[in-house]
Amino acid sequence: MTHRCAVIGSPIAHSLSPILHRAAYEQLGLRDWSYESFDVTPQALPEFLASCTTQWVGLSVTAPLKSALLEHGLAEQRAKDLNAANTLVFGHPNRLYNTDVTGMRVALASHGVEKAGTAIVLGAGATARSALAALEALGVSTITVAARSVQRAHDSLDPIAAILGVDVEVVDWTSLDSLGEHPADILISTVPTVFEPSRAVQLAALTPVVFDIVYHDYPTNLSRAAQAAGALDVDGVDLLVYQAIDQVVLMTGRRPQAEPLLELCRQAVAARG
């Protein structure tokens, strides 16, 4: 019997997850496993899950479904705290997990970053909440967040900041220029934004470590600016691969090697031009 898995979200056409997970299955010798992609909105999520037969093993879940997914299974505590799950393992009940946090931590650790005190986070959605948890695990206690809506940012981030015991200051997106007054150890961009080159240079100058979670446009202007500034550049391919490895473990019980998957994904991004 084929073991079915997939990535769901909307939009989903850009996702490298099918290439990545299929390569992991091949590496592990899992011949009867398949991995697809489906465009699913929050409104369509209940119907999609109801259509999944006993062949289905698990789902990778991306925007805008990470919060909505919590209504469809038993969530681990971290996913509950973050109000964001990116992994579903089918069962009775379904099990929900957040692998973004460990994905960020391992991505940073793979570049030698295992400790920090202050950080800047761009964005305030589900991935930003995961970033707060990953940063707290590194010892970060003070985080400046730039968001398009200060109130929505507080609504999204204050509950997890209180659980984590970190101090979060939110500034309006139009106040990015003021971030120069708050130099930090790490900058994490969680927004699907292509920064203008001049803005990217400004942001890259703020910290010695720049982590841009966008991968479909790598190298982004922010990554290029970080490299030009001599900052450590951690990119979205790192996060994509390391969070997916945890998903593969949850779904198959086996762990693939990271390096071949990182190389494959970088080649796939480059081929898209």
Catalytic machinery residues: 66
Structure token pair of residue 183: 């130099």
Report yes or no: 125 and 156 within 8 Å, Cβ to Cβ.
Answer: yes
Alpha helices in the chain (DSSP H): 17-28, 45-51, 77-82, 100-110, 126-137, 150-164, 197-204, 221-228, 236-252, 258-272
Structure tokens given for 248: 């593969």
Do you find a cis peptide bond into 11, omega within 30 degrees of 0?
A: yes
DSSP code at position 144 = E
Q: What angle do CA 13, 9, 108 make, to 5 degrees?
A: 90
Instruction: Give the C-alpha separation, 103 to 86, whole Å.
Output: 11
Identify which of 75, 225, 126, 217 has the alpha carbon closest to the alpha carbon of residue 134.
Answer: 126
Omega within 30 of 0 (cis) for the link into 93: yes
Query: Could you say which DSSP state residue 92 is in?
Result: S
CA distance 50 to 171: 41
